[in-house]
Chains A and B, each alone.
Chain A
């Protein structure tokens, strides 16, 4: 999803080994919300046919972190999220889902949507052959009407406020009871 004029990222993905790219370029997608993005992606994926959809966890601009799950829902398939490891065996996909304490092993039958976390897998470098072959690979460009998706943005931005400025820290002078004040403070913050 994006302007077809800049295909740098697409070409790099093709050079890394992808067989084909589909670009959905439509002016009405500017300012798209998570749900519209998911609808567009789901429709494009359905059109191509799929067994396994791999997505990042979130984009580095919107940071909503919900698009892969929405795509799965719209495609009516399971979502395996926050994967640090993925194995596909026969008709089944198994992931390690990152948790605060370690990981859960989660399985689902194909077709499935998997979202992977950043920095876990080192992407391969495009090879010389890959770069040359990428030139011959098909890149299809579609508009929203060709995809049959209505550009409806339902998310409303109510307001934008700057993050609160940092306030000066509280200084506790030690008159012999400072430890008690600190413990009270930590209890108030519910960290102990």
Chain B
């Protein structure tokens, strides 16, 4: 049996009973994504990721990708073959629009495919994920020649893509980057400079790698405003599409990382040989940052999936262990026999915490993805804009809340294993190590919190956030009819969230930005926890409705009610405890002189 079993039942329930996939299938161009077809697709995709991709997770961690003396990046055993099977399967292109050679599935389904790949093998999944970002950049901002030469091969996965942003002195502050691009008489550019943290920057899976590089043209404006985006292929592509000579760029080294060892994190030098790396301008000069922002939402949601992925993987491993491992005797049990540790209340608490948070994250991700589909395809411009604003609001929450939980839950996963969890051979430690990158990259979670408070709360003078809170409130009333205690807890949590929101908006309106920044991170956690509560309430209501109607598998539905109740009764109240930290202001953080720390 594979180490990863896609939780198809919960996926199906979350898609159809909580997210309303059927409404997505009514959008223009998504008619083929009816729930039955989607069920078939996900069952087959799940089998593929479970049988072909998941078994490489451990070997990927142990061997890692490595740089040979000839400057070639070699991936772990089995990755090349599995990647070719992945390309053949078409799962990578399933949610790319049909006009570009993809399968034209909605993002609401695409996100499940991403979830399964990431849960099966997070380090491996980053390769198609970065390719996806390059595809989006080309679709939105490339010209016809660029699309003609590169798009098809990226969509099929025959070539992969990267994003080259970070430099040693330009991390969270991308505007500080110094890689330069010099325009040539023929309209192409020559790039010089060094980029770091280039995920899957080179490898032996494909013949070519297409880099999207942020660089500065001579005389450009300082900061983020002066940045341009260039397409820089590893191997130059002739006008007829054939591969030409190697471009002037090379991998200088790979980082030695805490986790995701199979993913080669490259330092790439452009223009080392002196002639400069040939680059092609994407769109117009000095608009590169703007182009980056258009891809940021889906990229950040994509990283948010990794929180769920590591939480789910850690849960499956811990659950298997808790059922087998015998230690101690439960109260009132047979004193002569050691019981499986799943019989102990504290172990159950750990497992239920993992299980409930995982379900909440899954529902949040799918609901956000549905908003993305409506933002792209809803009938009226007004509707598209409305959904777009919800996506904008929820993106930083999804990214940061889920990835923080990925670390927390994979840590609990180790705890369930006891001492064996700290030993690498059980595999629990890998998930914890892999999960740890997700709160950092694609905008640290601190940056996400700042984005939420400074940029997203003020949208439409606070009407977007308050509209969303009002939408969450609407579930309290029906919830009260089946579980009055849970409904009261949800209302209490929503009141506290509304109060925190108003406090922050008031500080922003009064120009006290440092107060708002000081509360940003606990506020994001509060926001995510309450949003999770709203979605688990919907899950509970759907399960109740189906049980009463005699639909579905009763045992499964009761398990949904169990995890939703646990969340609403025991996890949701954590949010209220954050209010003092959100509303304390900057003074307690800033009053201690830096030298006195």
Closest to B34 in A: A135
Q: How far does the alpha carbon of A131 sit from the alpha carbon of B40 in the complex, in Å?
A: 8
Q: Which chain A positions have C-beta within 8 A of B52?
A: 125
B89 x A135 contact (CB < 8 A): no
Q: How far does the alpha carbon of A75 sit from the alpha carbon of B41 in the complex, in Å?
A: 38
A132 x B48 contact (CB < 8 A): no
A131 x B32 contact (CB < 8 A): no
- A107 within 8 A of partner (CB): no
Query: Shortest Cβ distance from B479 into chain A, in angstroms?
Result: 37
B41 x A128 contact (CB < 8 A): yes
- Interface residue SS majority, chain B: helix
Q: What 1/0 flags go to A118-134 for Cβ under 8 Å of B?
A: 00000001111101100
Identify which of residues 1-53 in chain B touch chain A, using a CB-to-CB cut-off of 8 Å.
Answer: 32, 37, 40-41, 44-45, 47-48, 52
Q: How far does the alpha carbon of A125 sit from the alpha carbon of B103 in the complex, in Å?
A: 17
- A15 within 8 A of partner (CB): yes
Closest to B105 in A: A128
Query: Shortest Cβ distance from A144 into chain B, in angstroms?
Result: 29
Identify which of residues 129-158 in chain A touch chain B, using a CB-to-CB cut-off of 8 Å.
Answer: 129, 131-132, 135
Closest 4 CB pairs of A and B: A128-B90, A127-B90, A128-B94, A125-B48
Q: How far does the alpha carbon of A175 sit from the alpha carbon of B204 in the complex, in Å?
A: 67
- B93 within 8 A of partner (CB): yes
Q: Which chain B positions have C-beta within 8 A of A127?
A: 88-90
A131 x B41 contact (CB < 8 A): yes
Q: Which chain B positions have C-beta within 8 A of A126?
A: 44
- B85 within 8 A of partner (CB): yes
Q: Which chain A positions have C-beta within 8 A of B280?
A: none
Among the interface residues B32, B44, B52, B88, which one has the most CB atoms of the partner chain A within 10 A?
B44
* A and B contact pairs by CB, cutoff 8 A, 18 listed: A11-B40, A12-B44, A15-B44, A125-B48, A125-B52, A125-B85, A125-B89, A126-B44, A127-B89, A127-B90, A128-B41, A128-B45, A128-B89, A128-B90, A128-B94, A131-B41, A132-B103, A135-B37
Q: How far does the alpha carbon of A127 sit from the alpha carbon of B47 in the complex, in Å?
A: 12
Q: How far does the alpha carbon of A12 sit from the alpha carbon of B45 in the complex, in Å?
A: 12
- B91 within 8 A of partner (CB): yes
- Interface residue SS majority, chain A: helix
B103 x A128 contact (CB < 8 A): yes
Closest to B103 in A: A128
Q: How far does the alpha carbon of A12 sit from the alpha carbon of B41 in the complex, in Å?
A: 11
Q: Which chain B positions have C-beta within 8 A of A131?
A: 40-41, 44
Identify which of residues 338-384 in chain B touch chain A, using a CB-to-CB cut-off of 8 Å.
Answer: none
Q: Which chain B positions have C-beta within 8 A of A132?
A: 32, 37, 103
B91 x A128 contact (CB < 8 A): yes
Given contacts A125-B44, A128-B94, 16 further A-B contacts (CB under 8 A): A12-B44, A125-B48, A127-B88, A127-B89, A127-B90, A128-B45, A128-B89, A128-B91, A128-B103, A129-B103, A131-B41, A131-B44, A132-B32, A132-B37, A132-B103, A135-B37
Chain B interface bracket (under 10, 10 to 19, 20 to 34, 35 or more): 10 to 19
Query: Shortest Cβ distance from B57 into chain A, in angstroms?
Result: 18
Q: How far does the alpha carbon of A131 sit from the alpha carbon of B32 in the complex, in Å?
A: 12
Q: Which chain A positions have C-beta within 8 A of B91?
A: 128
Q: Which chain A positions have C-beta within 8 A of B90?
A: 127-129
Q: How far does the alpha carbon of A126 sit from the alpha carbon of B93 in the complex, in Å?
A: 15
Among the interface residues A11, A12, A15, A131, which one has the most CB atoms of the partner chain B within 10 A?
A131
Query: Shortest Cβ distance from B579 into chain A, in angstroms?
Result: 47
Query: Shortest Cβ distance from B337 into chain A, in angstroms?
Result: 27
Identify which of residues 413-432 in chain B touch chain A, using a CB-to-CB cut-off of 8 Å.
Answer: none
Q: Which chain A positions have C-beta within 8 A of B40?
A: 11, 131
Q: Which chain A positions have C-beta within 8 A of B48?
A: 125
Q: Which chain A positions have C-beta within 8 A of B41?
A: 128, 131
Q: Which chain B positions have C-beta within 8 A of A15?
A: 44
Query: Shortest Cβ distance from A3 into chain B, in angstroms?
Result: 19
Q: How far does the alpha carbon of A15 sit from the alpha carbon of B41 in the complex, in Å?
A: 10
Q: How far does the alpha carbon of A111 sit from the alpha carbon of B441 in the complex, in Å?
A: 61
Q: How far does the alpha carbon of A128 sit from the alpha carbon of B91 in the complex, in Å?
A: 6
Q: How far does the alpha carbon of A127 sit from the alpha carbon of B52 in the complex, in Å?
A: 13
Q: How far does the alpha carbon of A66 sit from the alpha carbon of B44 in the complex, in Å?
A: 32
Q: How far does the alpha carbon of A112 sit from the alpha carbon of B592 in the complex, in Å?
A: 88
Q: What 1/0 flags go to A146-173 for Cβ under 8 Å of B?
A: 0000000000000000000000000000
Identify which of residues 6-26 in chain A touch chain B, using a CB-to-CB cut-off of 8 Å.
Answer: 11-12, 15
Identify which of residues 33-83 in chain B touch chain A, using a CB-to-CB cut-off of 8 Å.
Answer: 37, 40-41, 44-45, 47-48, 52
Q: Which chain A positions have C-beta within 8 A of B44?
A: 12, 15, 125-126, 131
Q: How far does the alpha carbon of A141 sit from the alpha carbon of B28 in the complex, in Å?
A: 34
Query: Shortest Cβ distance from A15 into chain B, in angstroms?
Result: 7
Q: Which chain A positions have C-beta within 8 A of B93?
A: 128
Q: How far does the alpha carbon of A128 sit from the alpha carbon of B37 in the complex, in Å?
A: 11
Q: How far does the alpha carbon of A128 sit from the alpha carbon of B48 in the complex, in Å?
A: 11
Identify which of residues 364-409 in chain B touch chain A, using a CB-to-CB cut-off of 8 Å.
Answer: none
Closest to B87 in A: A127
Q: What 1/0 flags go to A21-45 for Cβ under 8 Å of B?
A: 0000000000000000000000000
Closest to B95 in A: A128
Q: Which chain B positions have C-beta within 8 A of A129?
A: 90, 103
A125 x B47 contact (CB < 8 A): yes
Q: How far does the alpha carbon of A40 sit from the alpha carbon of B580 in the complex, in Å?
A: 76
Closest to B37 in A: A135
Query: Shortest Cβ distance from A132 into chain B, in angstroms?
Result: 7
Q: Which chain A positions have C-beta within 8 A of B37?
A: 132, 135
Query: Shortest Cβ distance from B152 into chain A, in angstroms?
Result: 15
Q: How far does the alpha carbon of A112 sit from the alpha carbon of B93 in the complex, in Å?
A: 39
Identify which of residues 41-62 in chain A touch chain B, using a CB-to-CB cut-off of 8 Å.
Answer: none
Query: Shortest Cβ distance from A16 into chain B, in angstroms?
Result: 10
